[in-house]
Structure 1
Amino acid sequence: MKSERHKGSRALRLVPWITLALFLGPVLAGLAATALPAFGYLPALGGDQFNLHSWQRLFEVPGLTRAAGLSLWTGLLATLLTVILVFGFCSAMHDTALFRKSQIILSPLLATPHVALAIGLAFLIAPSGWLVRLVSPWLTGWTRPPDIAMVQDSLGLALVLGLLIKEVPFILLMTLSALNQVPTRETLLTARSLGYSPVAAWLKVVLPRIYPQIRLPIYAVLAFSMSVVDVAVVLAPTTPPPLSVMVFRMFMDRDLTMIFPASAGACLQFLLVAAAIGAWRLGEILVARGARPWMLRGHRKRSGPPLYYAWGGLVISLVALSVVGTLTLGLWSFAHTWFYPLALPSAWTLSHWLRHLPDLAGPALTTLLLGLAAASLALVLALGCLQNERVNGVGPASRMLWLLYLPLLVPQIAFLFGAQMLLVRLDLDGTWPALIWAHLLFVFPYVFLALADPWRAFDPRYRNTALALTGSRLRTFFRVELPMMLKPVLFAFAIGFAVSVGQYLSTIFAGGGRFTTLTVEAVTLATGNDRRVIGIYALTQAVLPLLVYGMAIVLPAFLQRRQERRNR
């Protein structure tokens, strides 16, 4: 029995190393393979010596400076507003009914792909969008769509709004998870008893304790906001676009020699993100030092209800925008005629769905299989890493699994091209294993984040009792631990599936043009003019993860009722 346990513990020790090999090595190798053409070395295209010609060609690209500035501006603004909204909401609404229900409300938004939300938002706020139609002409007097750049505006504000809708739920859920790791209630009660307002108490005594735990997710949001491609294609300016879109188009250019300046652009994107994260870290230090006198000062000032309602209203408004935007996708997909300024379609039809259903089936099936495979593998690896923590006594502080978040901190455009070159050399480009691995890179960190805290909070007495009765860790895991933790496990799986559905660049680079997913089709169609077709693909892309998320909620309850009936 002891030998079996020792074998099991030794096998579990290998899981983190296998996971690191699957994630860290390819990312670093992809960065190196992208950097080589940036300095002139790519023998397949005649680059047999190192030089700076790639950078010279990059700097000659029109609008490069503005594109880089746009990426930096929108990324920093979106991240800063996300953090302000989340901290403001938590400090003002803590211990309210809305705060307690926020995880249930926001989880479906986290499961909705970025592109679907972006397209829904574009349909909503465009000059001829639903919001303008609802107030025209009776309130605005507009009998024609106004000549106002509400989408793809020059400042990138529509892109910032689209990023906020997606990133606020993510950072808020990470904050809620961090709050569960500290005695928040007791700490706030102590501060409130000293006369501090709820907002001041939360900011002074809770935020400093939880911020180190959410620093990494904030950095990931910053990196994503600065380098996102699919959302930027829909919402960002086009003349010039953000740097990530400009570099992506150079990679996709028919002229293969454009790979050299594109690689240099990818390196520039990486340097910009690294500089932004460094600047954010410096800002953290400066804010901490500047806020220290305020935190130590005993001045009390109470905040009135309007402040609380304001923060709650802002978050609810973002939720409403995402929900109404998704509803707009459905309206357009079933609309036969919908002329401006009608608030609703004048005629409805199923003909668009029936006509495009055969073309929709292939991408939908590919998306489904990819999501199931990537989420399943990520779940197995996450469970193996977490079990290794428990069985071998490896505490979260001593482990190196934070390195697995590297794909979230490094711009995708900076290493996916290099990873594609490695896949070509291994004759794996455009294969299912390569595509699943490319999705797994980004799925695993989210699965691990969603599962880690609930798994570590599992009462060890159940585990120890079952182990004493069965004498087998494997039987204890499958018969006791996994059934009792089924709800968080399925929730983590649903989050991983949603992340896979939303992957765009990883599908483009690893798929080799042989695979088409709903995300790829939605981004391709988003530049067209037929809102009905765009609505069909974007709505299907949004609904698919929500169905999996719904099953993650319904299935545990169904199994529990079934078990209760058996016990009777």
Structure 2
Amino acid sequence: MLRFAPALTIAILIGPVAAGIIGTLLPAFGYLPALGGDDFGLEPFHALFSTPGIATSIRLSIVNGLGAAAGAFLIVIAFTAAFEGTRTFTQIHRLLSPLLSVPHAAAAFGLAFLIAPSGFVLRLLSPWATGLDRPPDVLILNDPGGIAMTAGLIAKEAPFLFLMMLAALPQSQSRESRQLATTLGYRRATGWLLTVLPRVYPQIRLPVFAVIAYSISVVDVAMILGPTTPAPLAVRLTQWMSDPDLTLRFQASAGALLQLGLAVAAIALWIAGERFAALLGRRWIEAGTRSIGDGLIATIGASAMALIVTGMILGGVAIGLWSFAGFWPFPDALPQTLSAANWTANLPRAADTIAITAGLGLAAAFVAVALALACLENETRRNLAIEHRRLALLYLPLLVPQIAFLFGLQILFLLVGLDASVYGVAGAHLVFVLPYVFLALSDPWRALDPRYGRIATAIGARPARVFWRVRFPLALRAVATAGALGFAVSVAQYLPTVLIGAGRVETVTTEAVALASGGDRRLIAIYACLQMLLPFAGFLLAGAITGFAFRNRHALRTAS
């Protein structure tokens, strides 16, 4: 049965995307008989481009999305070039790893609580440094230029790209390359850019494309931090899709195709930038320049990374304080009273939402881990080598903007009776959980010493017994971690839950984003805390499982 696992996995990755795009394509050209669209035409596109403010929405999506992806990428490159192999690099790695599990919406709320006119930063600086005794009348959040949204995306995507960089560095012989560059007289950062970056970049190229596609089509972060008059394109499409006026579905479908086109255009623009950078790099090498401002690169990289880590931590502190805060007037740095009354009043009401969120996450993570293990075990038994270019299939649900195919997928689920159900939402979550789980599990699994399995086979163990008694225990820590990561990804899903669940399946993320338009910071903070605590509980459970399994097996704990 294992030989069918890769086909099933590919079908889960490709099928919903393809079906969703087809389901979006037809209404975009006016064909949706259920809503009276019996003829093909361009009316939905005419309605889309005649919508007031649509040009601004398009500009916000592509400029701010591409700017966020470029900013996160450049920060990671500058920091890695200047500090790889140092103690600072290791410390940042330890700090950023747990921050990766923080959902985008929770990170956006943390940033909002920090930089708002009455936020934590101004409270810490007032009145002794600013002279303010009341919040300034300045539009920081939801600014028309989308600066706050871009900053929030950079703060969340930089840790992801940094960890992708960490996974790629061991395969690029970075240490040997840096030593060789040093012997030739190149400074640290310059030598890294010339010798390591050309080797490591092809391995992180697909994650960079995924960040571009996500940043251009983000909804939850844009709803919390982005402008509202008009909003970025993806936010407006979501509003049209949820509008009681069903005729807006045609216009929304046309906009979804436009969103897909924006993502393709942005990635094409990035590829053009790659070629231009390669041309400049060749000229730079031919010139023999040994340094290009290493001190400036180190300063920018260290400052930006420190700002991201500090901002994420302070944002978490601000969320925690607001969830327990009593009376907290500006400019007091801390609440006058702290009380659990907010939690005791609201936690029972959120119990069902927490249960649904946990159930969806556990189901999606379990199925994803099972499929990934089946594919990897099939690869091991048949002695297959997966080509690097096939990894693009894993990134397909991440490279295609969610909003470009979820509209069509919603219509498909409606036809088969899975709309507005937890089963449909769990299936939609699986599409996005599976790539992360597979990528997290594949390298540790392939790094297992094959001699253990050969010895077990040589003494008569059947393949299934070798898997359960040898390979699975050796990879248990990686399996548990991948499951926890899949659970965290499921908790963070907003758009699939809203569209496939038709607003009837409530999770802590959908509730938190819905509360963003309100003024009750304490309630928002409680749901933001729940967003962070649920993934943290998942990783704690993963650690507890491996700790219990290896309690009497110290050598196995070390090997795993």
TM-score category, normalised to shorter length: over 0.9
1:7 aligns to what? none
Asked whether the 8 Å contact 1:111–1:549 carries over to 2, the reply is: no
Whole-angstrom CA distance in 1 between matches of 2:476 and 2:373: 12
Picking from 473, 478, 487, the partner of 1:483 is: 473
Matching residue within 169, 184, 189 for 1:179: 169
How big is the shift at 1:311? Answer: 1.7
Residue 142 of structure 1 aligns with which residue?
132
Q: Indicate the residue corresponding to 1:190 in structure 2.
A: 180
The SS at the match of 2:351 is helix
Aligned to 1:318: 308
Partner of 2:104: 114
1:450, CA displacement in angstroms?
1.4
Q: Where does residue 47 of structure 2 map in the other structure?
A: 57
Which position in structure 2 is the counterpart of 1:545? 535
Partner amino acid for 1:71?
S
Q: Is the CA contact 2:82–2:301 (under 8 Å) kept in the aligned structure 1?
A: yes
Does structure 1 residue 430 correspond to structure 2 residue 413? no
Whether 1:449 and 2:449 are equivalent positions in the alignment is: no
SS in 1 for 2:335: coil
Q: How many residues align?
A: 557
In the TM superposition, residue 377 of structure 1 has moved relative to its aligned partner by 0.9
* Aligned ranges 1:105-254 → 2 under 5 Å: 105-254=95-244
Q: Secondary structure at the match of 2:553?
A: helix
1:392 maps to 2:364: no
CA distance in 2, matches of 1:36, 1:48: 10
Structure 1 contact 470–476 (Cα < 8 Å) conserved: no
Does residue 87 of structure 1 match 2:77? yes
Seen in structure 2, the aligned counterparts of structure 1 residues 67 and 399 have a Cα distance that, compared at 3 Å, is: closer
Asked if 1 retains the 8 angstrom alpha-carbon contact of 2:104 and 2:492, the reply is yes
Q: What is the aligned partner in structure 1 of residue 482 from structure 2? A: 492
> Which residue of the partner structure matches residue 345 of structure 1?
335
Tell me, yes or no, if the aligned pair for 1:110 and 1:495 is still in contact at 8 Å.
no
In structure 2, the residue corresponding to 1:180 is in which secondary structure?
A: helix
For residues 317 and 388 of structure 2, what CA distance do their matches in structure 1 show?
46
8 Å CA contact 1:487–1:556 kept in 2: the answer is: yes
1:507 equivalent to 2:516? Answer no
Contact 2:111 2:311 in 1 (8 A): yes
Partner Cα separation in structure 2 for residue 14 and residue 565 of structure 1: 35
> Greater CA deviation, 359-368 or 423-432?
423-432
- The equivalent of 1:32 in structure 2 is 22
**Higher mean C-alpha deviation, range 223-232 or range 462-471:** 462-471
Deviation at 1:187, TM superposition (A): 2.0
1:56 to 1:418, Cα distance in 2 relative to 1, 3 A: same
Q: Shift in Å at residue 100 of structure 1?
A: 2.7
Deviation at 1:564, TM superposition (A): 4.4
Shift of 1:110: 1.1
Note the C-alpha offset of 1:398.
6.5
Q: Does 1:22 align with 2:16?
A: no
How big is each residue's C-alpha offset from its partner over 1:199-257, in whole Å with a ceiling of 9 and x where there is no partner?
11211111111111111100000000000101100000011110000111111111111
Q: Does 1:259 align with 2:219?
A: no
Following superposition, the deviation at residue 558 of structure 1 comes to: 4.5
**Aligned CA distance change for structure 1 residues 242 and 101 (closer, same or farther; 3 Å):** same
Q: Find the aligned partners of 1:392 and 1:409 in 2 and give their Cα distance.
A: 30
Residue identity matched to 2:348? P
Question: What's the counterpart of residue 271 of structure 1?
Answer: 261
CA contact (8 A) 1:196 1:302 kept: no
Identical-residue share of aligned pairs (%): 48
Q: How many angstroms does 1:364 deviate by?
A: 0.5
Instruction: Report the residue type matching 1:371 in the other structure.
Output: G
CA RMSD of aligned residues (A): 1.8
Partner of 2:458: 468
State the distance in 1 between where 2:412 and 2:67 align: 35
2:551 aligns to what SS in structure 1?
helix
What residue in structure 2 maps to residue 335 of structure 1?
325
Task: Give the stretch that moved more between structures: 376-385 or 414-423.
Answer: 376-385
Assess if the C-alpha contact under 8 Å between 2:79 and 2:297 holds in 1. Answer: no
Q: What letter is aligned with 1:68?
A: I
Q: Does the C-alpha gap of structure 1 residues 398 and 169 become closer, same or farther in structure 2, counting only changes over 3 Å?
A: closer
1:3 corresponding residue in structure 2: none
Q: Is the 8 A contact 1:498 1:545 kept in 2?
A: yes
Q: Tell me what 2:361 maps to.
A: 371
Q: Pick closer, same or farther for the CA change 1:414–1:302 going to 2, 3 Å.
A: closer
Shift of the 565–65 alpha-carbon distance from structure 1 to 2, 3 Å rule, reads closer
Q: In the alignment, does 2:59 pair up with 1:69?
A: yes
Matched residue type, 1:493: G
SS at match of 2:196: helix
> Which residue of the other structure, out of 520, 525, 550, is the alignment partner of 2:515?
525
Residue 551 of structure 1: CA displacement?
Answer: 3.0
Amino acid of the structure 1 residue aligned with 2:540:
G
d(CA) in 1 for partners of 2:93, 2:388: 29
C-alpha separation between the residues in 1 aligned to 2:292 and 2:52? Answer: 53
Counterparts in 2 of 1:484 and 1:358: CA distance versus 1, 3 Å: same
Q: Is residue 78 of structure 1 aligned with residue 78 of structure 2?
A: no
CA contact (8 A) 2:48 2:255 kept: yes
Question: For each residue in 1:317-376, what CA deviation from the matched residue of structure 2 results, as whole angstroms up to 9, or x when unmatched?
Answer: 101111111111111111111111111101122221111122110111111111111111
Q: Residue 196 of structure 1 aligns to a residue in which SS?
A: coil
> Structure 2, unaligned stretches of length 5 or more?
none
Distance change >3 Å, CA 425–CA 473, structure 1 → 2: same
Q: How far off its partner does 1:399 sit?
A: 6.9
Shift in Å at residue 391 of structure 1? 2.2
SS at match of 2:420: coil
Q: Which amino acid is the alignment partner of residue 484 of structure 2?
A: A
Within 1, Cα distance between the matches of 2:366 and 2:556?
29
Moved more, 140-149 or 60-69: 140-149
Give the 3 Å change call, closer, same or farther, for CA 434–184 of structure 1 in structure 2. same
Could you say which residue in structure 2 is the equivalent of 1:405? 395
Aligned-pair distance for 1:429? 1.3
Distance 1:306 1:283, change over 3 A: closer
CA distance 1:399–1:201, change in 2 (3 Å)? closer
Specify the SS of the correspondent of 2:326: strand
Query: Aligned-pair distance for 1:457?
Result: 1.8
How far does the alpha carbon of each residue in 1:421-456 deviate from its partner, in whole angstroms, 9 at most, with x for none? 111111121223211110011111111121222222
SS at match of 2:238: helix
Out of 84, 97, 100, the position equivalent to 2:90 is 100
- Of stretches 314-323 and 102-111 in structure 1, the one that deviates more from structure 2 is 102-111
Map of 2:404 onto structure 1 = 414
Contact preservation (8 Å) 2:109, 2:224: yes
Structure 2 counterpart of 1:113, one-letter code: P
Q: Are residues 434 and 123 of structure 1, via their aligned partners in 2, closer, same or farther at CA, if it must alter by over 3 Å?
A: same
State TM-score, norm by structure 1.
0.95
1:108–1:549 Cα contact (<8 Å) kept: no
Q: Deviations over 1:258-284 (max 9, x none)?
A: 111111111111111111111111111
Q: Deviations over 1:369-408 (max 9, x none)?
A: 1111111111111122222332223322177352132111
What letter is aligned with 2:342?
A: H
How far apart in 2 are the matches of 1:436 and 1:189? 49
Gaps in structure 1 of 5+ consecutive residues = 1-10
Q: Counterpart of 1:353 in 2: which secondary structure?
A: helix
Alignment partner, residue 6 of structure 1: none
Aligned-partner SS, 1:349:
coil
